[in-house]
């Protein structure tokens, strides 16, 4: 099916990057599941030739977790908007992080609620005067990278719809990462809050000499007032994944259903 | 049928639940049939708690209302429970605290002194009391000793020894000070069948595992939490995964995700949690994904009565959704049915690819009952319809079929790629807002549920074949209604009972047949508004009478009997029923 986004929408670039990443990784579509919530960005799974799950607003992470635990062999990619992931579904982000569930979460951040036509989202800048913020946004904006670092997500990166090749590389790295990987994808909404010009001036690659295992340095990078850094902020490859821990728990019990049923019932006899 | 009812009252934290559990297990191991009932405070420590066990030589249908033996560990317990003691019953009490008055036999046992000075451990007071009761009931000491070893063994030999000493001290006190009360003498049935004794929560968990549930996601809430805890302990042994999620929305979302990926999956909650899950349930209906949700109901709305029972979530279970979101709602009638109907719940979810809500309540969740060792072959397990090779060549996930059921591809299946979506969609699964598509697909989803209403085995009929009064009930009230019906028939009334184990869709054929065989209809349920009655009225335009109760307590058979008598024209009996009801708070 052909994408239904507005011409020029950043989501096309993110989708393209995902196509290229999946192709480069040579993953069999039947073993890939793309899970999403609601929003313009939430439509993405419908345009990918793999298994997809387009659920309800904000619940992409627990749904993706269920899919990954349901079948650990699948490559599970969760996608969603900034509203989906930081507002309605904001409570799920820290828990996906602490479980270190082995999925890749791509947040398509357009700094706006696109599908509901232009209300402020948690990442909208205070200066933005829009339909739901005629006098500017009263709250300060959330920074997804800062949150991911604070939640101790084991892979944190940022890409930009204006740089598809780089975004593709980040996706490949994220999907290959063992554990929960978060990719903050700047994806401007050309209709309600066109941030291309703003990002165009501010995005800067993280220097190749920076060490992605240095959390303190990552925190410095996101706080930089003059640049919006693109690249891998942080990476910890030492942590066990949720599926591995579940596997270890299950692994203590050699399979013998009949025996366990008998033991279980005997407790009540 | 002969039976004896023992009630123990005290403060939460005084160990009455623990001694009550031991007593129950000892009775069950001695081949008696048991039925327990407990009330406990919502607070962690303190507040009045009560444990009651009714046992007999045949299946016990309800908790019963008048105790043969009442053990009170303090004066407040006496105040709260003495009205529930038979006029000629036996009261075991602590003479250092108070002097009870009444027609019963007041049997003083210096529980505190025996525990503190005799056993040198004040906290063993509950075990002294258990020793007293065991001796009065003439229970085997070896059985209790064995149970105490099993229960306290992990805490070390010293703890086991103290508890045994306390048990013995209580027992010996009775040997030296015989009671006058004559209890009915009966031996348990010589049983060729092995029995188990479980709570509703335990039975449904076993049922779920045997049905093939291999993913459980849940968030703690009384009275469903022990399902999560039991799953955490048991499911990994069967190769399944359990996640304590961050909230109920995550629980049901993860269940739907796991089921989409091919696992049989469930969650368990109570009313407040089910309320949060409603949007996801609509998704499961729309995307046609099997899932099972247990709602162990408690008094509501809102946080309501967290530790008390009510059948108040029927409307939420049936209608709680936006749009037309048909699903299946089951309601088992007793502990044994919790096991078998849970297998059915998974079967229906898989067969019809739709959510199934399994309604129990606090009284059923926490009551323990004996039943025959489960025979898992009684309900064969059904799995979802997968697409054939040919169907995968040109796969349509939501293909229109004669019965509305379309083969469901599982990720990993070649040729089956599709996107499940909560948006309205075409047969291929593509979002579509074309008017006709929504009509056709709404009809498809509704038709599946209509098929379910023709499934057999979701009602039970008791009493007379043709009757003046027909009582309809649902869920955990089954035993109390049945007991009332049996009493009514013995007293010459003409009564029949139809118990619904499926409340949505209504099992229409069975209901119609029943309605044709009775003259008056009574709908009995434990909520204020008569929720089943409203559902019933929307389907069958016939006059009904209702018996509702909204006290956080189960029905007592006598209350139902009183209503039946009233309907048969005896007003005096009705007044008596009211008196009985006020006794049992
Ligand atoms: C429970 C619920 N609340 C509100 C909505 C309405 N809604 C649909 S999309 C959306 C916001 C989407 O914003 P975002 O997640 O940033 O995605 P975008 O459309 O910008 O890509 C909202 C509020 C909904 N579908 N469900
Ligand atoms: S509204 Fe904005 S975010 Fe949505 S498709 Fe159009 S450009 Fe993209």
Is the CB of residue A248 less than 8 Å away from at least one CB of chain B?
no
Q: Does the interface ipTM go beyond 0.90?
A: yes
8 Å CB contact of A253 and B263:
no
CA distances from B562 to B188, B465, B574 (A): 31, 21, 4
Please give the share of chain A, as a percent, with pLDDT higher than 90. Answer: 98
B198·A268 Cβ contact <8 A = yes
User: What is the reported pLDDT for B576?
Assistant: 55
Q: Is A133's pLDDT higher than 60?
A: yes
Mean pLDDT (whole number) for B528-550? 96
Q: Of the ligands numbered here, which is closest to the C-alpha atom of A42?
A: 1
Residues of A in contact with B241 (CB under 8 A): 69, 246, 250
CA distance A126 to chain B (A): 31
Condensed to tens digits (0 to 9), the pLDDT of residues B305-333 reads 999 999 999 999 999 999 999 999 999 99
Cβ within 8 Å, pair B258-A66: yes
Q: Would you say A232 and A170 are in contact if contact means Cβ atoms under 8 Å apart?
A: yes
Would you call B389 exposed, middle or buried from its count of C-beta atoms within 10 A (0-12, 13-18, 19+)? exposed
Per-residue confidence at B358, pLDDT binned at 50, 70, 90?
very high
Confidence band, pLDDT 50/70/90 cuts, at residue B1: confident
Taking the Cβ of residue A35 and every Cβ of chain B, the question of whether any pair is shorter than 8 Å is answered with yes
CA triple B191-B196-B198, angle to 5 deg? 145
Ligand 2 atom 8 nearest Cα: A9
Strand partners, B67: B85
Tell me the chain A residues in contact with residue B253 when contact means C-beta distances shorter than 8 Å. 55-56, 59, 62-63, 66
Specify the pLDDT at position B580.
52
pLDDT at B460: 98
DSSP state string for A119-146 = B--TTS-TT--BTTBBTB-SSPPP-HHH
pLDDT at residue B575, as a whole number: 52
**Looking at the predicted structure, is the pLDDT value of residue B585 above 50?**
no
- Given a cut of 90, is residue B27 above it in pLDDT? yes
**Whether the CB of A11 sits within 6 Å of ligand 2:** yes
The pLDDT value given to residue B91: 98
- Share the mean pLDDT of chain A: 97
Sign for the CA dihedral angle at B454, B461, B28, B4 comes to positive
Judge: A51–B239 Cβ closer than 8 Å, yes or no: no
Q: What is the pLDDT of residues B373-395, one digit of tens each?
A: 999 999 999 999 999 999 999 99
Beta bridge partners of B330: B358, B502
Give yes or no for residue A161 CB within 6 A of ligand 2. no
User: Residue A81 C-alpha to ligand 1 middle, in angstroms?
Assistant: 8
pLDDT at B233: 98
| A81 close to ligand 2 (CB < 6 Angstrom) | no
Q: What is the mean pLDDT of chain B?
A: 95
User: With bands split at pLDDT 50, 70 and 90, how would you rate the model's confidence at A1?
Assistant: confident
Considering CB atoms only, which of A30, A59, A74 is closest to B253?
A: A59
> Alpha helix locations (H) across B117-189?
125-137, 141-152, 157-176
pLDDT at B118 over 80: yes
Q: Which of residues 61-90 of A touch B (CB under 8 A)?
A: 61-71, 73-74
In this predicted model, what pLDDT tens digit does every residue of B40-81 receive, in sequence order? 877 777 788 999 999 999 999 999 989 999 999 999 999 999
Q: Determine whether the interchain pair A63/B253 forms a contact, defined as Cβ–Cβ distance below 8 Å.
A: yes
Say if residues A89 and A57 touch (Cβ distance below 8 Å).
yes
Q: What is the pLDDT of residues A171-192, one digit of tens each?
A: 999 999 999 999 999 999 999 9
Question: Per-residue pLDDT tens for B446-478?
Answer: 999 999 999 999 999 999 999 999 999 999 999
pLDDT value at position B134? 97
| Minimal C-alpha gap between B263 and chain A (Å) | 6
| Chain B contact for A258 (CB, 8 A cutoff) | no
Atom 23 in ligand 1: residue holding the nearest Cα = A116
pLDDT tens-digit map of B264-295: 999 999 999 999 999 999 999 999 999 999 99
Residue A41 has pLDDT above 80, yes or no: yes
Interface list for B 236-265 with A (CB within 8 A): 236-241, 243, 245-247, 249-251, 253-263, 265
- The residue whose CB lies within 8 Å of the most ligand 2 atoms, and thus the one to mutate among A4, A124, A130, A190, is A190
Closest CA in chain A for residue B235 = A250
DSSP helix/strand/coil, B398: coil
Interchain pair B411, A261: CB under 8 A: no
- Looking at residue B570, its pLDDT comes to 59
pLDDT score, position B584:
45
Chain B's closest residue to A52, CA to CA, is B419
Nearest to B70 by CA among B96, B42, B97, B102: B102
User: A231-252: b or e for each residue (b if 16 or more CB lie within 10 Å)?
Assistant: bbbbbbeeeebbbbebeeebee
Q: What is the pLDDT of residue B582?
A: 46
Q: Give whole-number Cα distances, B174 to A2, A58, A97, B167, in Å.
A: 84, 64, 61, 11
Q: Among partner residues A1, A63, A252, which is closest to B430 by beta-carbon distance?
A: A1
Ligand 1 atom 22 nearest Cα: A116
B363 CA to centre of ligand 1 in angstroms = 41
**According to the 3-state scheme, what is the secondary structure of B475-515?**
HHHHHHHHHHHHHHHHCCCCEEEEEECEEECCCHHHHHHHH
Instruction: Give contacts of A249 with chain B, Cβ < 8 Å.
Output: 236
Task: Judge whether residue B218 has pLDDT over 60.
Answer: yes
Q: Name which of B230, B237, B336 to mutate to probe chain A: the one with the most chain A Cβ atoms within 10 A of its Cβ.
A: B237
Q: Which residues contact B61 (CB under 8 A, 6 or more apart)?
A: B35, B479, B480, B482, B483, B486, B557
Q: What is the pTM of this model?
A: 0.96
Q: What ligand is nearest to the CA atom of residue B283?
A: 1
């Amino acid at each position: 099916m052909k994408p239904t986004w507005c011409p020029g929408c950043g989501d096309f670039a993110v989708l393209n990057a995902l196509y290229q990443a999946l192709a480069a990784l040579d993953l069999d579509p039947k073993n890939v599941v793309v899970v999403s919530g609601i929003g313009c960005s939430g439509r993405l799974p419908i345009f990918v030739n793999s298994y997809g799950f387009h659920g309800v607003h904000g619940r992409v992470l627990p749904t993706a977790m269920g899919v990954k635990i349901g079948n650990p062999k699948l490559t599970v990619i969760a996608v969603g908007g900034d509203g989906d992931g930081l507002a309605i579904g904001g409570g799920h982000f820290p828990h996906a992080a602490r479980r270190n569930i082995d999925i890749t979460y791509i947040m398509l951040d357009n700094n706006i609620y696109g599908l509901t036509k232009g209300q402020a989202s948690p990442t909208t800048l205070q200066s933005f005067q829009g339909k739901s913020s005629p006098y500017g946004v009263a709250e300060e904006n959330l920074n997804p990278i800062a949150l991911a670092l604070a939640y101790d997500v084991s892979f944190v990166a940022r890409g930009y719809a204006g740089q598809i090749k780089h975004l593709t590389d980040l996706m490949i790295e994220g999907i290959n990462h063992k554990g929960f990987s978060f990719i903050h994808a700047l994806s401007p909404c050309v209709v309600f809050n066109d941030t291309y010009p703003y990002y165009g001036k501010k995005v800067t690659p993280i220097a190749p000499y920076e060490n992605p295992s240095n959390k303190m340095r990552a925190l410095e990078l996101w706080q930089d007032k003059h640049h919006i850094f693109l690249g891998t902020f942080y990476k910890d490859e030492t942590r066990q994944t949720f599926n591995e821990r579940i596997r270890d728990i299950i692994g203590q019990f050699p399979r013998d259903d009949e025996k366990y049923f008998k033991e279980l019932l005997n407790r009540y006899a | 049928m002969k039976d004896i009812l023992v009630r123990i009252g005290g403060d939460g934290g005084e160990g009455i639940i623990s001694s009550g559990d031991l007593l129950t297990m000892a009775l069950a191991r001695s081949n008696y049939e048991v039925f327990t009932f407990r009330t406990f405070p919502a607070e962690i420590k303190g507040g009045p708690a009560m444990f009651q066990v009714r046992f007999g030589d045949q299946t016990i249908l309800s908790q019963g209302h008048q105790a043969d033996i009442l053990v009170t560990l303090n004066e407040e317990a006496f105040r709260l429970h003495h009205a529930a003691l038979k006029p000629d019953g036996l009261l075991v009490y602590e003479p250092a605290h108070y002097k009870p008055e009444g027609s019963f036999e007041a049997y003083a046992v210096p529980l505190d002194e025996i525990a503190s000075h005799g056993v040198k451990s004040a906290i063993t007071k509950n075990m002294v009391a258990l020793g007293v009761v065991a001796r009065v009931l003439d229970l085997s000491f070896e059985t209790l000793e064995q149970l105490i070893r099993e229960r306290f063994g992990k805490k070390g030999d010293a703890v086991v020894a103290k508890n045994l000493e306390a048990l013995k001290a209580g027992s010996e006190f009775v040997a030296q000070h015989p009671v006058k009360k004559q209890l009915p003498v009966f031996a348990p049935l010589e049983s060729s069948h092995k029995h188990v004794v479980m709570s509703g929560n335990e039975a449904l968990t076993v049922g779920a595992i045997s049905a093939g549930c291999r993913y459980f996601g849940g968030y703690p809430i009384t009275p469903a939490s022990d399902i999560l805890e039991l799953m955490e302990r048991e499911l990994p042994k069967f190769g399944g995964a359990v996640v304590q999620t961050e909230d109920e929305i995550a629980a049901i979302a993860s269940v739907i995700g796991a089921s989409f990926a091919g696992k049989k999956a469930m969650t368990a909650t109570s009313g407040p949690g089910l309320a949060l899950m409603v949007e996801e349930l609509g998704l499961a209906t729309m995307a046609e994904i099997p899932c099972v949700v247990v709602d162990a109901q408690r008094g509501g709305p809102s946080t309501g009565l967290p530790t008390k029972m009510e059948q108040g979530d029927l409307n939420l279970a049936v209608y709680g959704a936006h749009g037309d979101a048909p699903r299946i709602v089951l309601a088992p009638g007793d502990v044994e049915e919790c096991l078998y109907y849970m297998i059915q719940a998974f079967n229906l979810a898989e067969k019809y690819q739709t959510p199934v809500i399994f309604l129990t309540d606090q009284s059923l969740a926490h009551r323990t009952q004996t039943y025959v060792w489960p025979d898992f072959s009684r309900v064969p397990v059904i799995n979802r319809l997968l697409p054939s090779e040919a169907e995968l060549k040109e796969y349509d996930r939501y293909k229109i079929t004669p019965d509305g059921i379309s083969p469901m591809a599982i990720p990993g299946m070649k040729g089956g790629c599709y996107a499940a979506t909560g948006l309205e969609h075409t047969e291929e699964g593509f979002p579509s807002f074309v008017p006709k598509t929504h009509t056709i697909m709404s009809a498809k989803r509704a038709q599946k549920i209509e098929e379910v209403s023709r499934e057999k085995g979701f009602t039970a009929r008791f009493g007379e074949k043709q009757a003046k009064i027909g009582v309809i009930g649902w869920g955990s009230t089954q035993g109390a209604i049945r007991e009332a019906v049996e009493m009514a028939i013995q007293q010459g009334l003409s009564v029949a009972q139809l118990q619904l184990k499926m409340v949505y869709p209504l099992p229409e054929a069975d209901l119609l047949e029943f309605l044709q065989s009775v003259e008056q209809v009574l709908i009995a349920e434990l909520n204020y508004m008569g929720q089943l009655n409203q559902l019933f009225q929307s389907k069958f335009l016939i006059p009904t009478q209702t018996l509702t109760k909204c006290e956080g307590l189960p029905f007592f058979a006598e209350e139902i009997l009183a209503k039946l008598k009233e309907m048969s024209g005896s007003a005096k009996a009705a007044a008596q029923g009211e008196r009985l009801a006020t006794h049992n708070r």
